[in-house]
Every structure is written in structure tokens, then in C-alpha cells.
Amino acid sequence: KHAKNVISPNLTTCHESVARPGLSVYCCPPKPESEEPFIDFQFPDPSSPLRLRRAAHLVDNDYIAKYRNAVSIMKSLPYDDPRSLLRQANLHCIYCTGAYKQKNSDIPLHVHRSWLFFPWHRMVLYFHERILGSLIGDDSFALPFWNWDNPDGMVIPEMYVTGSLVDTDRENSHLPPQVVDLNYNLQEKGLGPEEQIKINMALMYTQMVSGAKTTELFMGCPYKGGEGGFCEGPGTIELAPHNTLHDWTGTGLNPGREDMGSFYSAGRDPIFYGHHGNVDRLWEVWRRLQGEYYNSEITDPEWLDSYFFFHDEKRQLVRIKFQDVVNITRLRYAYEEVELPWLNARP
């Protein structure tokens, strides 16, 4: 059946957007994507290496050196190159500040605060990871994930604190050994590490289990294209720890807590990709937890057929649908199995 209210951008409409009250930004590509030919997404070869995403606090020095090298190269590419870090970051700026209008309507497209959140960010990471790998000639390269739902991962992982993975616009008082506040509301709670870890675990239980018993509660509301398709209702994890850690990481010296604290700038900080690695992983974890009770998959064709455009590692513009990213094995990546200590942290 034909899904008419699918979400997709109108690539001819990229325009200046409002980053926050008082700040306009222009994040569009230097040449309009609407003039570039695109291809439809193709799954990677099923016999290609499975990229294993590992916890950022558990990886070895060889991996860190490799990742840093890839990011340095990415940073050195010119803005013309869609693989450059600034262009990668600007994808987030474009889609999150409403720089595109939707196809067939004048309504701005936003990928937060609804069921667009998980699959759209999965696409960003998918292409980002493959670009990094290709820049260093490693087709098994995988992004790390910031395992902030595990007590051992509840600080900014060391790898991000030096070298090309640093961002100087992070909150100084939140650098290691400060324990993350997964429910940060711009106020310092001033708790000792053990107490903070305990309330972090309870929050994880709420967001993953007791507060996320339906697909809509976890994924967000069903945002559709066109008039009347708008909704605002973020899923549990999107609200916290996702949003809260963006704010917690960016420096309070900047008005929008840039870089991590604002949509337009978040992707400039390499930790953004580790943060979203964990968000993406928790989507998989949640599905597995639901599996025993009911079918948590979204089957609405208007979600499945929604499509976006990204440049791949060959700089080719690709059209990709949400239905293409529901199975991570087909995307040839996986997450290292780690414990889920919050499963027993019912408050």
C-alpha cells in the first residue's frame, strides 16, 4: 500500500535556521544536494566484516590510536567534502534546527522529539562509521559507545580527553573523575559518586523498563509528513539520559552549552558519536527486553518508508529509508555484550 504521509526532506529548501533564540545558523552544504544524483541504499555485502562497537572505557590503546587518526583525517578534509567532520556535524544542524522543509509541504523537518529520533540517528552513525573506516583503510572499523548506563562508564571516557577526540567546549567541572548525572537539569546535585551512581541506575530502570512499556513511550510519538502530521512526544531515553547528557557535557560558559548542548553544534564534538552509539545500542537492548512480551516493532508504512539522504564513504549521495536500518546485522555492525546492571535497580 502506498504511504503518502512519509517524512522526507525537500533538498531544494536548505536555508538559514534558528539555532536558539537570538542565533541564526547556516549549515547547508556548499553545493545544493538537490542537484546531485543519488542512488538508493544498498545493504553492505553480508560477507563483509561485522563491525563490533565496543564500550569506550574498555577499548585498548591500539584502537584509540586508530580512531584518533581517523578523526584527525576527517577534521582535515575541506568543507567541500561531505566526509569532513564539520559537514558531518552540520547534518545534525540541518535536520535538527529545521533547515529543510518537508517534501510536498512548507513544514520544517525536525528529527527530534518523536519516533524519528532513533532511526535517523542510526543513519548518521552508520555513514559516519563507514567514512572513518574508509579514511584509514579499515573495513572493520567500528565506533565506540559511551557506556554511561554502566557504573564503570559513568565518567567521560579517557579516550575523549586528549588528542583529536577532545572538544575544548566541554564543561570543565564535568571532566573525569566527575560522575555523570544522567538526569541533569542544569543544576549541580553535588552528590558523592556512590549516591549519584545509585540514582543513575534507578533512572535507567525507569527509562528502559517501567516507563517504557509501549513502543510509543520508548520510541516517541508517531510524527508524520504534511499538514496535521506533527507531534511532539519524545521517548523516555531521548529525554534522559540523551538530552540531559548533551547539556551535562557542553560547557556552561557558552549560552547554548555548545558544543554538545545545542543541536547545531553537538556533532562537532567527537563524543557525540559515542553518546549516540549508546543510545542506538539501548534501542537494541529495549527491543530484546520487549521481545518476550509483545512485538515492539513499528509496522506503520509511513514510518518504514520515510527517507533521508546521506553521503557515503565514496561521497555518493544515498537515499535511505527507516526500513533499511531496523536490522543492525544487515547493516553489518553489532554491539559488544556488556552487563545491564540497572535491570535490577528498580527504585
174 included as an active-site residue: no
Among residues 121, 128, 275, 311, the one annotated as catalytic is: 121
Q: Which of 57, 87, 246, 268 binds ligand C2O (CB under 6 A)?
A: 246
**Contacts (CB under 6 A) with ligand C2O, residues 173-192:** none
Q: Measured at CB, which residue is nearest to ligand C2O? A: 96
CA Rg value for the chain: 19
* Secondary structure E strands in 228-338: 307-311, 317-321, 333-335
Active site residue 242: yes
Which of 110, 112, 174, 321: binder of ligand C2O (CB under 6 A)?
112
In whole angstroms, give the CA distance from residue 92 to residue 111. 9
Task: Please name which of 310, 340, 327, 330 lies closest in space to residue 39, comparing C-alpha atoms.
Answer: 310
The one among 59, 70, 96, 328 contacting ligand C2O by CB under 6 A:
96
Q: Provide the sign of the torsion angle of the four alpha carbons 178, 179, 182, 186, taken in this order.
A: negative
Q: Does 57 bind ligand C2O (CB under 6 A)?
A: no
Q: Any catalytic annotation for residue 57?
A: no
By the 10 Å C-beta count (0-12 exposed, 13-18 middle, 19+ buried), 132 is classed as: buried
CB 246 → ligand C2O: shortest distance, Å? 6
Strand 317-321 and strand 333-335: the pairing is: unpaired
Cβ distance to ligand C2O smaller for residue 242 or 257: 242
Closest by Cα among 273, 285, 329 to 144: 273
Closest CB to ligand C2O among residues 120, 335: 120
Please give the size of the binding site for ligand C2O, defined by CB under 6 A: 8
Catalytic entry in 57, 275, 276, 311: 276
Task: Check residue 268 for interaction with ligand C2O (CB under 6 A).
Answer: no
18 phi and psi angles, rounded to 5 deg: -95, 115
Q: Is 276 one of the annotated active-site residues of the chain? A: yes
Q: Which is nearer to ligand C2O, 83 or 122 (CB)?
A: 122
- Name residues whose C-beta falls within 8 Å of residue 76's C-beta, 6 or more positions apart in sequence: none
Distance CA 212, CA 169 (A): 33
Rounded Cα–Cα distance for residues 295 and 280 (Å): 19
Interaction between residue 125 and ligand C2O (CB under 6 A): no
Q: Would the CA dihedral through 40, 43, 49, 51 be positive or negative? A: positive
Q: Does 242 bind ligand C2O (CB under 6 A)?
A: yes
Toward ligand C2O, which CB reaches closer, 245 or 345?
245
Considering only residues 298 to 327 of the shown chain, the ones binding ligand C2O according to CB under 6 A are: none
Closest by alpha carbon to 5, among 262, 225, 273, 269? 225
State yes or no: residue 87 binds ligand C2O (CB under 6 A): no
Nearest distance in Å: CB 179, ligand C2O:
20
Shortest distance (Å) from residue 120 CB to ligand C2O: 7
CA–CA distance, 284 with 217 (Å, rounded to integer): 15
Whether residue 230 lies in the annotated active site? no
Distance in angstroms (rounded) separating the CA atoms of residues 329 and 229 = 31
- Does position 276 interact with ligand C2O (CB under 6 A)? The reply is yes
Chain residues binding ligand C2O by CB under 6 A are 92, 96, 112, 121, 242, 246, 266, 276
Q: Please give the positions annotated as active site.
A: 92, 112, 121, 242, 246, 263, 276
